[in-house]
Amino acid sequence: MTASETPRKPRGRLFFANPGPTNIPDSVLLATAHHTVDFADPAFGEVYWACMEGLKRILKTRQEVFLYTGSGHAAWEACLANLLSPGDTILVLESGHFSQSWGRMATDLGIEVQTVPADWRRGVDMAAVQAALAADTGHVIKAVGVVHNETSTGMMIPIPEVRAALDATGHPALLLADTISSLGSLDFRMDEWGVDAAVGGSQKGLMLPTGLSFTGVSHKALKAHESSTLPKHYFNWSAMMKRPLKSFLGTVPTSFFFGLQESLRLMEQEEGLENVFARHTRLARAVRAAVQHWSGNNGPQLFCTTPSRYSDSVTAVLMPDGIDGDVFRRVAMQRFNLSLGGGLGPLAGKVFRIGHLGDLNEPMILGTLATVELAMKVAGVPHTPGGVDAAIAALA
């Protein structure tokens, strides 16, 4: 093969606009590259407990947090295995690929899954949630599972409305919330919203590598844990509570905590959590302005059709009929070194996703949008040109 036949790798830095994992700030990368320490060393303990307190502040909880070496799936499983028993019923609010996957996991663990079905573009109807809870007069439903930010569709589900449905019906089920693509990007208030278990992961809003996950756990959930009989070992909260660090049955992934200490510093001290949320809102509006502009001329559209539920951390973009989103994404990647998220589950090839969470600013968003528009032109995707101007107008 001659040099001219070799596939060309675009020069310059990879432009990463996936909805997780996300860009890692250089200072977090450097902090993570810490030399090995003994996790029983009291000096590490200081870093660890400071991180634990920081995570509680981000989750907005004063209750318990348990951590796992593993991606978000590990925390999903820990949450179910610690709270439920074989044959228990969980009510899953359908939101998209991730609510379905969590439900499938529950089924595999021997849990009965009842679903409140929803149109993925409009989102679940809270009246239907309340009706399902009201119909359960025998309180067979032991837990309600909701994905706070559905990463596959770009939709935020308002957790306080789910809490209100539980309260209105006087239903005692535990409220389980997946915060994997919301925590550290969108406001989340575990205690105020009455969430009993909040599932989080390292690789999105927290701006860390993938592989650390955790659950915030309420006192009510800890009580339920005492009678849960689903098999568990590595994930067993009772066993964890006996460990010196109150988590981790095995080796503690120390590098993560040096990184987490730095990402907490960036979020809380350097920028301020409220400003982090405001930045996500600002950048998300710019992305949506661009997509809404492109949608003219039978162009791609916002997948989410409920404005009050637009996600400020990820936008799913529905391709025009007959246009394959994965072919378009390949053009963006191979020609321009722009990495975009693909469609998941039944949305494969039908949508692409722009992640706008984590370590991100206006130039990065504008660069992404300009390159998406360029790639649409090159790939022959119909659209109304000028989306970047719409984004600039939204930002200015």
Based on the shown chain and the rule CB under 6 A, indicate whether residue 68 belongs to the binding site for ligand PLP.
Answer: no
Based on the shown chain and the rule CB under 6 A, indicate whether residue 388 belongs to the binding site for ligand PLP.
Answer: no
Which one among 98, 188, 214, 256 touches ligand PLP, defined by CB under 6 A? 98
Shortest distance (Å) from residue 315 CB to ligand PLP: 14
Q: Which is nearest to 69 in space by CA: 213, 200, 232, 256?
A: 213
Specify burial of residue 113 (Cβ count, 10 A radius: 0-12, 13-18, 19+).
middle
Span interacting with ligand PLP, options 136-144, 178-186, 243-251, 350-358, rule CB under 6 A: 178-186
235 close to 77: Cβ distance less than 8 angstroms: yes
Based on the shown chain and the rule CB under 6 A, indicate whether residue 32 belongs to the binding site for ligand PLP.
Answer: no
Based on the shown chain and the rule CB under 6 A, indicate whether residue 100 belongs to the binding site for ligand PLP.
Answer: no
Q: How far apart are CA 99 and CA 199, in angstroms?
A: 13
Based on the shown chain and the rule CB under 6 A, indicate whether residue 123 belongs to the binding site for ligand PLP.
Answer: no
By rule CB under 6 A, what string of x and - marks binding of each residue 151-170 to ligand PLP? x-------------------
Amino acid type, 381? V
Based on the shown chain and the rule CB under 6 A, indicate whether residue 95 belongs to the binding site for ligand PLP.
Answer: no
Based on the shown chain and the rule CB under 6 A, indicate whether residue 208 belongs to the binding site for ligand PLP.
Answer: no
| CA 153 centroid distance within chain | 11
Q: Which two tokens stand for residue 76?
A: 């999903």
What is the number of other CB atoms lying within 10 angstroms of the CB of residue 118? 21
Based on the shown chain and the rule CB under 6 A, indicate whether residue 73 belongs to the binding site for ligand PLP.
Answer: yes
Shortest distance (Å) from residue 20 CB to ligand PLP: 5
Which one among 54, 72, 184, 216 touches ligand PLP, defined by CB under 6 A? 72
| CA 55 centroid distance within chain | 15
If DSSP codes are grouped into helix, strand and coil, which group holds residue 93?
A: strand
Based on the shown chain and the rule CB under 6 A, indicate whether residue 77 belongs to the binding site for ligand PLP.
Answer: no
Based on the shown chain and the rule CB under 6 A, indicate whether residue 256 belongs to the binding site for ligand PLP.
Answer: no
Paired residues of 214 in beta bridges: 67, 200
Q: How far apart are CA 191 and CA 208, in angstroms?
A: 25
By C-beta, is 201 or 259 nearer to ligand PLP? 201
**Residue 46, C-beta contacts closer than 8 angstroms, at least 6 positions apart:** none
Interface with ligand PLP (CB under 6 A): 20, 71-73, 98, 147, 151, 178, 180-181, 201
